[in-house]
Amino acid sequence: MAEHSNAPLVEMKNISISFGGIKAVDDVSVDLRPGEVVGLLGHNGAGKSTLIKVLSGAYAKDAGEIFINGNKVDIKSPRDARANNIETIYQTLALADNLDAAQNLFLGRELMTPFGLVDDSAMEAECRKIMGRLNPNFQKFNEPVSALSGGQRQSVAIARAVYFNARILIMDEPTAALGPHETQMVADLILQLKAQGIGIFLIDHDVHSVMELCDRASVMKNGKMVGTVKIADVTDDDLLSMIILGKNPMEKEDV
Amino acid sequence: MTDMTSAPVPQKDDGNLFHKLELDMRLLGMIGALFILCIGFNWFTDGRFLTPRNIFNLTIQTVSVAIMACGMVFVIVNRHIDLSVGALLATTSAVMAMMQTQILPNSFGLGLGHPLIWVLAILSGLLVGTLIGAFQGWMIGYLTIPAFIVTLGGFLVWRNVAWYLTSGQTIGPLDQTFLTFGGTNGTLGTSWSWVVAVIASIGAVWAMWSSRRSKAGHGFPVKPVWAELTLHGIIVASIFGFIAVLNAYLIPERRLERMFEARGEVMPEGLTVGYGLPISVLILILVALVLSVVAKRTRFGRYIFATGGNPDAAELSGINTRLLTVKIFALMGFLCALSAVIASARLSNHTNDIGTLDELRVIAAAVIGGTALAGGFGTIYGALIGALIMQSLQSGMAMVGVDAPFQNIVVGAVLVLAVLIDIIYRKRVGAK
Ligand SMILES: Nc1ncnc2c1ncn2[C@@H]1O[C@H](COP(=O)(O)OP(=O)(O)OP(=O)(O)O)[C@@H](O)[C@H]1O
Ligand SMILES: [Mg+2]
């Protein structure tokens, strides 16, 4: 694929998707550059998760186009998204409760022995390594994830998204279940990944952490895009009023 | 991420003996139940239940249901159900019977007893079973009709396709070589049975050591050597004990005489020959082994369990859950056909009612063996023990002289009770 040096890493143009007559996402456009964190904000049911699920291949869009590095791509399944180096932390975490952390980490991409059998020991070793970085306290490697706390489960989901060297990372409320210390660790992780040139979509209800971590923020309301702003140009209150009133304070450009 | 389990040392010494042996409590419970059942029946029948002869018969009667129960584990783990296995067994049995008695001899001119007959008959049966299974799986996976409905329909359809194919007639006698898959007519004899015992023991010990080596290689905790050796001892002893029992069942003198006559020889005076391991049981053991490896160590197996645990997560991980459903039901169909070989060979004929009620026995065996109907959990060895428990109950009660209606009442009650115990057990160990 040709790399258009000035093209965004991801460009979602005029995306629409509806569920039985309800327009969950209505003609929304967002973009993301390498090393950039773009926050997605909006009230409950605004359409944030639905929008990113189009990018991660979970939902098929009704209309719109997706470009990666300036090339039009057709993402029809989660496999297609993974093939484009898109990794996702879903709001629901998407873990198989009956499998352990390592089996979830590698689900769909198992490490194999030379005999073509899944190599659980090797996967557990890798899992211990990455969890050691993300959550050094984690020890429950031989238990199904149903036996983990909400935060522990979330750290497994984060490990899965980070492990495979994504270039595009989607995080749908990644810190919802985390304690303050762990939330800070995820914040550090985001900055670290950003420094590596990874583009991140971050969905978060906490305006504060969006102000801290993001370069730009896109606000949605009732499936429509209210506007995209540079974080440097706005205050907490500006963002809040965009979310609540659905009006763009800059009152200019943008869709 | 907060204050989780703090134990920093991954060392396994919870003090408890069972923990050290890493024995599965559920497995022990099932074996215990089977043990008590056998001892009980043995007591009530004045020692007739635990004779080599009865154990031999028990195992060959269990094979057909046990093979299908192994497949049913995958189906149920994947959150589906298959109510059509008994009917599918009948259809594939009918196909194979028609092939060997009519189609191959008449249309293809293969003489009776031609070695190709049994091969082609079995291959066609396996093919038909796999295709029908795949077709049902396609309706479930791609057309999203619930498995309950598809296989309930299949239950009626395939039972009556079998009837139609054979006009309801008993078809036989079946090919002589084909009959060796039935049990009594095809055993390895004592020497080869011992060979199997040796190979199986070496294989089991090797598998356990290599798993241990692989764990140790990554620096994971392993159980103490004495525990490992104790387990090896128990397993090797069980294997040799089982073969010894089957070898101890002697071929009746008259039958032996006839076998010698058939070969134009005279039986030496006072000769005794043991049956040894039936080929059908050997097939069951191989199926169970292969499917255990499939369940634990292949992508296919991993995806079945992942999908059973959380279908959405499996889908989001890039697993093609629809195709997976087709494969699972194709495998189930294949196993039904394999069971049909063994069931019809055991009866020496294809009969119109072959496999009747097998769907219920198969599901019961899987469920008694700890397969959770909610999906996500189940083991092959559990299904095997479940099938053995069902068969022991049934033949035990028949030997004791329990009236037929009571036999079924007890079996039904035991099924419900087993699931209740399982639910209580799961709650105790923390909803896993
Ligand atoms: N699978 C679905 N079927 C039907 N409707 C859906 C589906 N998924 C989402 N919706 C609807 O689409 C709208 C947007 O939902 P979405 O999950 O994208 O919201 P969100 O912005 O992520 O909200 P939250 O902050 O609560 O996570 C909602 O009205 C929701 O009810
Ligand atoms: Mg959401």
Q: What is the CATH number of the domain that holds B304?
A: 1.10.3470
Average pLDDT over residues B263-276: 79
Do B199 and B262 have their domain in common?
yes
User: pLDDT of B115-148, one tens digit each?
Assistant: 888 899 999 999 999 999 999 999 999 999 999 9
User: What pLDDT shows up at residue B4?
Assistant: 39
Cβ–Cβ below 8 Å for A98 and B308: yes
Do B65 and B147 have their domain in common?
yes
A122 at interface of B, judged by CB pairs closer than 8 A:
yes
User: What pLDDT shows up at residue B18?
Assistant: 57
Q: What is the pTM of this model?
A: 0.90
- The total number of structural domains in chain B stands at 2
Average pLDDT over residues B46-73: 93
| Residue bearing the bigger pLDDT, A254 or B298 | B298
User: pLDDT of B147-197, one tens digit each?
Assistant: 999 999 999 999 999 999 999 999 978 888 899 998 888 888 888 999 999
Torsion angle of the four alpha carbons B93, B95, B99, B102, in this order, in degrees rounded to the nearest 10:
100
Q: Is B313's pLDDT higher than 50?
A: yes
Give the DSSP per-residue string, A34-101: TT-EEEEEESTTSSHHHHHHHHTTSS--SEEEEEETTEEE---SHHHHHHTTEEEE-TT----TTSBH
Using the 3D structure, point to which of B234, B251, B277 is the last residue of a domain: B277
Task: Determine which residue's CA is closest to atom 10 belonging to ligand 1.
Answer: A24
User: What pLDDT shows up at residue A168?
Assistant: 94
Do B338 and B272 have their domain in common?
no
Do B266 and B365 have their domain in common?
no
User: What pLDDT shows up at residue B124?
Assistant: 95
Q: Of how many residues is chain A composed?
A: 255
Task: Determine which residue's CA is closest to atom 30 belonging to ligand 1.
Answer: A45
Do B175 and B216 have their domain in common?
no
Task: Choose among B127, B122, B252, B273: nearest CA to B193.
Answer: B273
The ligand 1 site (C-beta within 6 Å) comprises A 19, 22, 24, 42, 44-50, 91
Contact status, residue A135 vs residue A153, Cβ threshold 8 Å: no
Q: What is the DSSP letter of B22?
A: T
State the Cα–Cα distance between residues A156 and A138, nearest whole angstrom.
Answer: 10
For residue A117, what are its two tokens?
């059998």
Coil vs helix vs strand at A26:
strand
Question: What are the structural domains of chain A?
Answer: 10-85+166-254 (3.40.50.300)
CB pairs under 8 A between A and B: 120
User: What pLDDT shows up at residue B427?
Assistant: 79
Q: Is B22's pLDDT higher than 60?
A: no
Cβ–Cβ below 8 Å for A94 and B431: no
User: What pLDDT shows up at residue B259?
Assistant: 78
User: pLDDT of B186-227, one tens digit each?
Assistant: 888 888 999 999 999 999 999 888 888 888 888 787 888 888
User: What pLDDT shows up at residue B12?
Assistant: 44
> Does a structural domain hold residue B220?
yes
> Does a structural domain hold residue B339?
yes
User: What pLDDT shows up at residue A1?
Assistant: 46
> Does a structural domain hold residue B326?
yes
Its domain, for residue B195, covers 188-277
Nearest Cα of chain B lies from the Cα of A244 at a distance, in angstroms, of: 32
| Residue bearing the bigger pLDDT, B8 or B229 | B229
Do B326 and B384 have their domain in common?
yes
Helices B52-77 and B358-368, packing angle to 10 deg: 80
Q: How many angstroms does the Cα of residue B198 sit away from the middle of ligand 2? A: 59
Using the 3D structure, point to which of B258, B277, B296 is the last residue of a domain: B277
**CA end-to-end span of chain B:** 20
Nearest Cα of chain A lies from the Cα of B251 at a distance, in angstroms, of: 42
Do B353 and B296 have their domain in common?
yes
Interface test with B, best of A49, A97, A145 (most B CBs within 10 A): A97
Cβ–Cβ below 8 Å for A121 and B217: yes
Q: Is B1's pLDDT higher than 70?
A: no
Using the 3D structure, point to which of B221, B251, B277 is the last residue of a domain: B277
Q: Apex CA B142: angle with CA B137 and CA B146, to 5°?
A: 65
User: What pLDDT shows up at residue A185?
Assistant: 85
Q: Is B432's pLDDT higher than 50?
A: no
Atom of ligand 1 nearest to the CA of A25: 14
Task: Determine which residue's CA is closest to atom 1 belonging to ligand 1.
Answer: A19
* Choice among B21-30, B173-182, B416-425 with the minimum mean pLDDT: B21-30
Question: With contacts defined as CB-CB under 8 Å, which chain A residues touch B318?
Answer: 77-79, 82, 108-109
> Does a structural domain hold residue B116?
yes
Instruction: Provide the β-strand partners of residue B250.
Output: B274
> Does a structural domain hold residue B11?
no
Cβ–Cβ below 8 Å for B316 and A139: no
Contact status, residue B395 vs residue B57, Cβ threshold 8 Å: yes
User: What pLDDT shows up at residue B17?
Assistant: 60
pLDDT band at B262 (very low <50, low <70, confident <90, very high): confident
Do B148 and B77 have their domain in common?
yes
Atom of ligand 1 nearest to the CA of A220: 21
Enumerate the H helices of chain A as residue ranges. 48-55, 78-83, 101-105, 120-134, 150-163, 180-195, 207-213, 236-245
State the Cα–Cα distance between residues A87 and B276, nearest whole angstrom.
Answer: 57
Q: In chain A, which stretches have pLDDT less than 70?
A: 1-5, 249-255
